[in-house]
Structure 1
Amino acid sequence: MPENYIAEQRFNKEDFTLRSLSKAEYENCKFIGCNFSSSDLSGVKFLDCEFISCNLSLADLTKTTFNEVSFNDCKMLGLRFESCNDFGLAFHFDNCKINHSSFYKLKIKKTNFRNSQLHEVDFSECDLSNSIFDNCDLLSATFDKTILEKADFKTAYNYSIDPDNNRIKKAKFSQSGLAGLLTKYDILISQ
């Protein structure tokens, strides 16, 4: 293996704002309580890795590879996921703050967002087919020409999705969330 290949390592409470994470391919690694805030992660490859209680806010994700990566309890503000390497791009989020981030034009089918805050996130022209937004706060998130076919919004809230401007065939919504599909009509709905 090349020397820039790191497998099955644990990184605990490391501050990568002080010294950069080595440009390498990381496979089956765990990053626990690490600070990547404003770090340069460009060109780094993460395969089957787990980020737990990390801060990745404003990190540079240019050509970063995320292949089957899970983020748990992470702070991820202002990330430009569309800058990532889109080949094999697959990740899952649980209990994360992903506010002010962008997934513009990405194909991220079957992505799970659970118990996460996604305020002002840009999902424009994104393919989110079969994705799940379980107990997610989508306040002021942008859905514009987004593919949401078979996506699950049953427990999501604060979303505003225009059915005329997005593909929502067979998407799942709760009765209480239907108001989020009617926002553009400026009507009042009472319970």
Structure 2
Amino acid sequence: MAKTFWTDQEFTKQDYTHQKLPKGDYENCRFVDCLFSEGYLDNQNFVECTFEGCDLTNANIAHTTFHDVTFTDCKMVGVQFETCNHLLLTLHFTGCNLSVASFQGLNLPSIIFEDCKFHQTDFTETFLKGAKFTNCDLENAIFEGTDLEKTDFRSSINFNIDPSLNRLKKTRFKKDGLIGLLKKYDIVVS
């Protein structure tokens, strides 16, 4: 089956849970309130696209290219980002639920996450140097072997980061958030 090229198209309220999104290259396209839950987005190419209010829960994104792609107010529970194409990977997230997702081993320097939920999300061995987690909830998120140099957690909550297992040089925290660095010691700070 030949791939198709779409540019400057808008896809609104489409249900791709039973019928797959046609294989192809999508450039500067907009997906609004579309359902991809449990669906297949594998082997696609998205360049400068936006996903707004979409449900991508447990979507298969294996070998998919995301270059300068923005996700806004999307449900992305369980998405395995490490399976996508790492070449040219550039992502932006605002208001998304990324719980139980995985970014394991990805190179995401200076990525910005705004108002996102990361409950039990895996950031093991992820390169997040210079990243910003703005107003994010990181309850039970996994950071192990993660490069968090110059990463900004000042407005985020519920993180548990072991300084002995991660690179934290010049990482930014608010004073009242420092307890998230001490949880492994089971000490009480009041």
TM-score (normalizing by structure 1): 0.97
Deviation at residue 18 of structure 1 after TM alignment: 2.9
Q: Which runs of 5+ in 1 are unaligned?
A: none
* Mapping 1:32-181, distance limit 5 Å: 32-181=32-181
1:28 aligns with 2:23: no
Find the aligned partners of 1:94 and 1:68 in 2 and give their Cα distance. 14
Structure 2 unaligned segments of length 5 or more: list them. Answer: none
Aligned structure 1 segments of 4 or more residues deviating by more than 3 angstroms: none
CA distance in 2, matches of 1:110, 1:151: 8
How far did 1:19 drift?
1.5
Tell me, yes or no, if the aligned pair for 2:3 and 2:23 is still in contact at 8 Å.
Answer: no
For 2:126 and 2:65, the matched residues in 1 are separated by 18
Could you say what secondary structure the match of 2:68 adopts? strand
1:53-85 deviations in whole A, cap 9, x for unaligned? 000001101101111100000000101000000
How far apart, CA to CA, are the structure 1 residues paired with 2:35 and 2:84? Answer: 19
For 1:45 and 1:108, the matched residues in 2 are separated by 18
Distance (whole Å) between structure 2 residues aligned to residue 171 and residue 98 of structure 1: 22
Inter-partner Cα distance in structure 2 for 1:166 and 1:67 = 27
Q: Deviations over 1:108-151 (max 9, x none)?
A: 11111100100000000000011100000000000000000010
Does the 8 A contact of 2:4 with 2:23 survive in 1? yes
Paired AA for residue 107 in structure 2: K
Structure 1 CA distance for aligned equivalents of residues 179 and 188 of structure 2: 9
Give SS of 1:78's match. coil
What is the Cα-based RMSD across aligned positions, in Å? 0.9
Q: Give percent identity, aligned residues only.
A: 43
